């Protein structure tokens, strides 16, 4: 029943901004950590950012200072504000949700394409 649906991806010029959203639904358990990951063709999936239910954030060095992760616990929604985008940010971005009950999940979204032109 659990679903995570990403939105907000698209094409943007270098230096521009995008805001990604991911809404989780269908879970009866409380989400602990939500995160964003990305994967470019032929490359490994990598961590972008995570945020706990209390608001503690962690970022990959490659996006630190440019991206901001946030969440709305009441809506089970996580956001990724991406500023000063670079061509190397081009990838499919996935969100995930991990739960306090660790045997439940984690669950992943379907991904949303972000393309940054030079």
User: DSSP readout, 17-66?
Assistant: -EEEEEEEES-SS-EEEEEEEEE-TTS--EEEEEEETT--EEE-TTTTTT
**pLDDT of 41-57, one tens digit each?**
999 999 999 999 999 99
Distance of alpha carbon 59 from alpha carbon 94, whole angstroms:
15
3-state class (DSSP) for residue 83: coil
pLDDT of residue 102: 86
Handedness of CA 32, 66, 83, 93 (dihedral sign): negative
pLDDT of residue 118: 93
Q: Which residue has the tokens 């991990």?
A: 98
What mean pLDDT do residues 30-43 have?
Answer: 96
**pLDDT tier for residue 35 given thresholds of 50, 70 and 90:** very high
What mean pLDDT do residues 12-36 have?
Answer: 96
What mean pLDDT do residues 57-72 have?
Answer: 98
């Amino acid at each position: 029943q659990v679903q995570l649906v990403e939105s907000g991806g698209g094409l943007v010029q270098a230096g521009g901004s995008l805001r990604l959203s991911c809404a989780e639904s269908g879970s009866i358990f409380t989400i602990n950590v939500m995160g964003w990951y990305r994967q470019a063709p032929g490359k490994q999936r990598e961590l972008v950012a995570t945020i706990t239910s209390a608001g503690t954030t962690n970022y990959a060095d490659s996006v630190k200072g440019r991206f901001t992760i946030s969440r709305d616990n009441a809506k089970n929604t996580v956001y990724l504000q991406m500023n000063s985008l670079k061509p190397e940010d081009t990838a499919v971005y996935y969100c995930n949700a991990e739960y306090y009950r660790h045997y439940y999940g984690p669950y992943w979204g379907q991904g949303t394409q972000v393309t940054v032109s030079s």
